[in-house]
Structure 1
Amino acid sequence: MPNFSPLTLCISATSFAISQFLFHVGSCRLSTRFTCGFTKLNAKQKIEWNSRTVSTIHAAVVGCFCLYILVYDDAVNKDPVWGNPFMVKLNVAITSGYLISDLLLIICYWKAIGDKYFVTHHVAALYAYYYVLGEGMLPYFGNFRLLAEFSTPFVNQRWFFEVLGYPKHSLPNMVNGVLMTVVFFIVRIAVIPTYYTRVFSTFGTEAFHRLGLGAQCAWIISSVSLDIMNVMWMMKITKGCYKVLYHTDGVLTKTQKNGKAE
Structure 2
Amino acid sequence: MASKSYKYQAQVLVREYLLADPFVPCTSVLGGIFMCKMAYDLTQLISPFYYKGYVSLTKIQRIEWNNRGMSSAHAIFITIMSLYFVAVSDLFSDRLEGLLTFRRSNLSTFTLGVSVGYFITDLAMIFWQYPSLGGMEYVLHHFISVCAIAYAMLSGEGQLYTFMVLISETTTPVVNLRWFLDTAGMKRSRAYLVNGVMMFFAWLAARIFLFIYAFYHIYLHYDQIKQMHTVGYLLSLVVPTALFVMNMMWFAKILRGLQKTLAKRQ
Same fold (TM over 0.5): yes
Instruction: Provide structure 1 residue ranges, at least 5 long, that are not aligned to the other structure.
Output: 250-262
When residues 227 and 5 of structure 1 are mapped into structure 2, their CA distance, relative to the original with a 3 A threshold, is: farther
Helix, strand or coil: the match of 1:150? helix
Query: Is 1:241 the counterpart of 2:258 in the alignment?
Result: yes
Query: Is 1:146 the counterpart of 2:173 in the alignment?
Result: no
Hey, what does 1:254 align to over in structure 2?
none
Structure 1 residue identity aligned to 2:71: S
2-structure distance, mates of 1:53, 1:199: 33
* Structure 2 counterpart of 1:72, from 77, 83, 88: 88
Structure 1 residue identity aligned to 2:39: L
Percent identical among aligned pairs is 24
Helix, strand or coil: the match of 2:93? helix
Q: CA RMSD in A?
A: 1.7
Hey, what does 1:211 align to over in structure 2?
228
Query: Is 1:55 the counterpart of 2:66 in the alignment?
Result: no
Report the CA distance between 1:111 and its aligned residue.
Answer: 4.2
Kept after mapping to 2: 8 A contact 1:85/1:137: no
Structure 2 residue identity aligned to 1:37: G
TM-score with structure 1 setting the length: 0.87
Kept after mapping to 2: 8 A contact 1:169/1:248: no
1-structure distance, mates of 2:93, 2:264: 45
1-structure distance, mates of 2:100, 2:245: 23
Report the CA distance between 1:131 and its aligned residue.
Answer: 2.1
1-structure distance, mates of 2:33, 2:118: 5
TM-score with structure 2 setting the length: 0.86
Kept after mapping to 1: 8 A contact 2:112/2:150: no
Report the CA distance between 1:186 and its aligned residue.
Answer: 0.5
Hey, what does 1:253 align to over in structure 2?
none
Kept after mapping to 2: 8 A contact 1:22/1:54: yes
* Structure 2 counterpart of 1:84, from 74, 86, 104: 104
* TM alignment of 1:97-108, pairs within 5 A: 97-108=117-128
Hey, what does 1:252 align to over in structure 2?
none
Hey, what does 1:200 align to over in structure 2?
219
Hey, what does 2:24 align to over in structure 1?
7
How many residues are treated as equivalent by the alignment? 243
Kept after mapping to 2: 8 A contact 1:77/1:140: no
Report the CA distance between 1:120 and its aligned residue.
Answer: 0.5
Kept after mapping to 1: 8 A contact 2:25/2:154: no
What are the Cα deviations for residues 77-122 of structure 1, in whole angstroms up to 9, with x where unaligned? 3343112343322221111100000011111111421421111011
Structure 2 residue identity aligned to 1:73: S
